[in-house]
Chain A
Amino acid sequence: MTLRRRQLLQALGLGAITATIGRDPAARADEPASPPRIVFYVQPHGHIPNAWNMDIPGGPTDRFAERRLADLGQDDLSPTLRPFYPFRDRLLAIEGLSHTSVLADIAEVMRSGGDLNNHQIGVAGALTANRALQRAGTYCTGGARSLDQELAVRLVAPGRFDSRVYGFDYVPNSVASPFSYLGPGKATPMVSDPKVAFADLLGYTASPTAPKNRDELLRSLRPSVLDLAGREYEILARQLGAEGREKLAQHRGLVRELESSLGAIGRSPKCDATFDDSGHAVRQFMRLVRLAFACDLTRIVTIAAPVPECSELGYPAEATFHAYAHASIAGGTSCGAMYSPLAERAMTDLDAWHAGHVAYLLEQLDAVSEGSGTLLDHTVVVWITELATPTHQHHDVCTLLAGGCHGFFDTGRYVRYPRTIPNPLPGAPLTGPPHNRLYVSLMQAMGQTDTSFGMTDAVAANGAPISLRGALTELHHGA
């Protein structure tokens, strides 16, 4: 959003260097020809580590360990990662991160009260890496701007959507619980119908010629209509107090952005503006990501993945994946012995189902050449979950990066972080590094210089300080 970005840059004293965003030094004077891009695929319910994790032969468990994927056969990959075999040189599979900010938040809510549902707090903290917003009389929700929207604010420009959020309502309890937030308690609107999403993207593209008839003439005056409306926001905002003025100023900024964007986009040969409504809606969205990136209509997409009906994966119609989740890991729950091999199989199949979708996205991005590589080479696809495991734990997270983002990440590896950090929850296991630190790495991959994101410090149950700052440099190229 241009307005917020300008305000932010002014606040940081950075107004003059906006054009240097991007990692290509040659592009300082202008936008890079192949800008960095990012896709978040947020899968509900966590992963089954037994199906996701890989061995690192001889690798230490008390320090960082890695295994190169290049020489492995398809069957050497873990069941969940197997669909990514064709892209193994551009994968970075990460074992052992922890949703430390979520654990710290749960510990704090235990002390101070509020909605203690660790699933709800997990959803709120998945992309914000910060404390949830507690509200009287209702469930908690995202308490801060999420990473995708922070990047959106930083990287937007006229003629381009700051971000796109696609996907499906996720209802872990009784209310739809979003992952992406513009700010505390303010979910980013999500488009759930691929046809509507396509129409949105095309709304920015220009008619190639001058208006030929009255209808086209009227359409060509859309920016002028927005200009009139936009002025009303400016004038009315002046009459209001700070809160109202801010609200109208935000609205005005978006109206101006739409105005300046209409018709600003031409169609390049690689920008294939057609819509294919075949296949699962998730895959339709994946093709729209390809379109949006190829046409540079946005550089940031978040996909809130659906939870399919059990019958879609061959399980009984009356079953639910949420119920399977709780019983999917032996010894994984605290409320009785309820492990069921069927539940583990169901959740493993669910992982594979999502893996198929993510691999399809990689195929789509790899099919469009750009510069000396493909869109995929200039993108980082981030596959994350709001719970670490389906049994609702928040340590031992499985994370996949794909694409490498201009070589920022050292891909082609399966890496494992040691679990040496004390847990904010009493009696809970040691953890690996906070997922905040992965987000710092992602911000740096997208050209930012931040050294922290979200929560910065927490306290372990034993009183020891936990730092959530700094990038995970082991993941970076040349680290």
Chain B
Amino acid sequence: MERTRLSYRRGAAKLRATALRRVASLVAISLLGAACAGCATGDAARPGEGIAPRGVAPPEAEPAVGPAPLRRLSNDEYRNALRDLFPAVDVALPPLPADIAVAGFENAAEAQEPSDVRIARYEAIANLYAEAATIDAAAVTALVGCADWSTPEHATSCAAQFVGVTGGRVFRRPLTDAERDRFMQRFQEWRSAVDFEGAVRLTLSAMLQSPQFLYRVEPPPRSQPAGSVVPVDAYAMASRLSFFLWESVPDDALLQAALRDELRTDDQVRDQVDRMLRDARARRALWSFHRQWLALDRVLGDEHAVRTPEVDAAWGPTSQASATEESQRFVQNVLAQGGTFHDLMVSRRAWVNGEMARIYGLAAPKDPSAWTEVVLPGAERAGLVTRAAFLAGFSHRGATSPPVRGNGIELRLLCQLPVSPPPGADLSQPKPAPDQGPQTNRMLFEARTKPAACQACHAALNGFGFGLENYDAAGHYRSSEDGLPIDASGSIQGTDVDGPFVGGIELSSALGRSEVVHRCAVERWVRYALGRAPVVAELPTVASLTDAFTKSDGDVRALLRGIATSPTFRMRRVGEE
């Protein structure tokens, strides 16, 4: 297998070189982005149109707009939408088939294949919601907006109001006349077969199973020629904003803005983004994005349900849930209070309950179930990378794995896919030989990954992971292991902030100012916003957003405004639905 290993090493070296080239190309892309600043308004002149060589896309010819595939609501979006549409309804739902994550993100249009299980769940859930929302006369009155359906005339007028108003909220736009007629006709049939309340229930169930609810259908403008780039319809823009910033349906204010065509100018979009980010629903998206990007829910997996007694005998489901919730509160509170991405990397603010105080070695609170704000010890912890959700989530149950943590940083924070171990690589936990005496985990991994073939990747992986050895597999801080002092010196490779560091705080600080990390964050936010990876035409947009994001120390609000006002978010190509 020697030849295999050699080819493998060459592959690894090639990948590393690609990563470095990617860093270098950032600069070039940034410059392109600056030249293209006018594109952001969508009003750029088109000097190159018609004179570009065949087969070469003229970059300034038209707004940088990528494809807009039809998107289904992700499971989180679907559940949030039901919750926001029917706040009074509280029913236990059967599990939906998991969304297939692409690069960590659960809203990837490319992976959204309908299946019989999913359709059966939609039907079951629609029926549960429709039943609960019409459980008694008061509920029906609240839903349809009128109280008297005792005569056929009243019933018809109430039904029309219900179909129009509730239908408009469920479909996120006014119904067309034809839609109104179709739903009214079936309503009347059901009213004859059962009764008014029953017809409301069945009609609502049908609406909740319709494509206008489950998919984000954006009607194409009929008057425009195929291939031209046009602003999306105002209601589609309302939905684009609400699913991006709230992971849910538009509220009435947004639908009203769409009705008045007030989602058109940069200022109008910015005002809506600012309003929406002030709303509590924005906390969902801020957390959801970071959870998926940095795998902050990885610690909830079954493989993290226990820790060995030597690591943490008290570790259990409460620890898993608390670790995730601690990161959730940190992300949401820091960003909701005007914090930046840089703060997420270096801030010592934390919100802890009793379990997290135990894990972080803080004084036990009076009420262990309450979450209170604290400042973490300055020498021990800073931002997300030094918190339990990340540290324990990227560990094994009995020991840390520096390569696994390094892998987490490369894949998640740097957007670089680490090369997989070669066939037959020993992935078991290294242990000291019987006659070897005490060894730190670092010493064992250094010995295991010493061969040159391993170092092609492990130089970087271990460089990150060794720097986090002050944190054990449960995320406790430690300064010694098995009687030996912890050596937390590491090195950063494959970025624009390469160099040695000591400990998680220095690592976080360096990554927090890295342009590679900022570009990764921007690329992931764009992916999250669009439900797909950015395409080549959008790289200038990504580059200019990265430039601004890096210069602002990671101003997430400004980034979200930038994405929401970018051409690719606001426009689409006719005929590509």
B-contacting residues of A (Cβ < 8 Å)? 1, 106, 110, 113, 115-120, 135-139, 161-162, 171, 173-176, 182-183, 185-191, 193, 196, 199-200, 203, 214, 217-218, 221-222, 224-226, 228-229, 231-233, 235-237, 239-241, 243-244, 247-248, 250-251, 254-255, 257-258, 317-318, 320, 322-324, 326-327, 332-336, 338, 391-393, 425-428
Contacts and interface: CB of A to CB of B under 8 A. Distances in A.
Interface stretch (B56-64, B198-206, B542-550): B198-206
B425 to A, nearest CB: 5
Contact of B117 (A137, A191, A336): A191
A225 B205 contact: yes
B577 A244 contact: yes
Given A224-B186, A251-B119, A115 B100 contact: no
A118 B98 CA distance: 25
B5 A247 contact: no
12 contacts: A1-B116, A138-B104, A175-B101, A193-B95, A229-B209, A318-B397, A333-B424, A335-B451, A335-B454, A392-B424, A427-B2, A428-B4
Contacts of A221: 190, 193-194, 202
Across chains A and B, which 4 residue pairs bring their CB atoms closest together, nearest first? A117-B420, A189-B97, A244-B70, A334-B424
Interface of B: 1-5, 7-8, 11, 14-15, 69-70, 72, 94-95, 97-98, 100-104, 110-120, 123-124, 126-127, 178-179, 182-183, 186, 189-190, 193-195, 198, 201-202, 205-206, 209-212, 214-215, 217, 219-220, 295, 298, 301, 303, 306, 308, 396-398, 404, 407-408, 411, 415, 417, 419-429, 448, 451, 454, 533, 575-577
Contacts of B101: 175
Given A244-B70, A326-B426, A115 B420 contact: yes
Nearest to A137: B103
A22 B333 CA distance: 62
A244 B5 contact: no
A190 B448 CA distance: 38
Contact of B417 (A115, A233, A243): A115
B115 A254 contact: yes
Contact of A326 (B1, B94, B117, B428): B428
A457 B101 CA distance: 31
A136 B415 CA distance: 9
Contacts of B11: 110, 113, 116
Contacts of B102: 135, 138, 185
A120 B411 CA distance: 16
A144 B123 CA distance: 28
Given A185-B100, A239-B219, 16 more contacts: A110-B8, A116-B422, A117-B421, A120-B420, A161-B116, A225-B202, A226-B209, A231-B182, A232-B182, A233-B210, A239-B217, A243-B576, A258-B116, A333-B425, A335-B451, A393-B423
Given A135-B102, A248-B70, A317 B424 contact: no
B202 A218 contact: yes
Given A221-B193, A239-B220, A334-B424, A244 B123 contact: no
A116 B119 contact: no
Contact of B215 (A196, A248, A258): A248
Contact of B206 (A228, A239, A244, A326): A228
A225 B125 CA distance: 13
B425 A335 contact: yes
A143 B419 CA distance: 19
B80 to A, nearest CB: 21
B424 A214 contact: no
A228 B217 contact: no
A327 B428 contact: yes
A391 B102 CA distance: 28
Contacts of A393: 423-424
A229 B210 contact: yes
B4 A425 contact: yes
Name, among A162, A174, A231, A320, the residue most crowded by chain B CB atoms within 10 Å (CB to CB).
A174
A342 to B, nearest CB: 11
Contacts of A136: 103, 417, 533
Contacts of A258: 116, 119-120, 123
Contact of B201 (A218, A226, A326): A218
Contacts of A255: 119, 209
Contacts of A161: 116
A236 B1 contact: no
A118 B4 contact: no
Contacts of B426: 326-327, 333, 335-336, 338
A365 to B, nearest CB: 23
Given A189-B118, A258-B119, A222 B4 contact: no
Contacts of B190: 221, 224
A118 B424 CA distance: 9
Given A224-B186, A225-B209, A214 B194 contact: yes
A241 B218 CA distance: 11
Contact of A217 (B1, B193, B407): B193
Contacts of B69: 243-244
A338 B428 contact: yes
Contact of A427 (B3, B116, B427): B3
A135 B101 CA distance: 12
Contacts of B194: 214, 217-218, 221
Contact of B423 (A118, A224, A235, A236): A118
Contacts of A193: 95
A110 B1 CA distance: 13
Contacts of A116: 8, 11, 419-420, 422
Contacts of B112: 247
B88 to A, nearest CB: 21
Contact of A236 (B212, B306, B407): B212
Nearest to A103: B423
Contacts of B422: 116, 118, 334-335
A393 B123 CA distance: 44
Nearest to B429: A323
Contacts of B577: 239-241, 243-244
A135 B7 CA distance: 21
Name, among B103, B117, B576, B577, the residue most crowded by chain A CB atoms within 10 Å (CB to CB).
B117
Given A138-B104, A193-B95, A318-B397, A427 B202 contact: no
Contacts of A231: 182
Name, among B2, B119, B206, B211, the residue most crowded by chain A CB atoms within 10 Å (CB to CB).
B211
Contacts of A323: 427-429
B215 to A, nearest CB: 7
Contact of A232 (B126, B193, B212): B212
B259 to A, nearest CB: 21
A244 B97 CA distance: 21
B306 A317 contact: yes
A243 B427 CA distance: 42
Contacts of B123: 222, 226, 258
A113 B15 CA distance: 8
Contacts of A106: 423
B425 A334 contact: yes
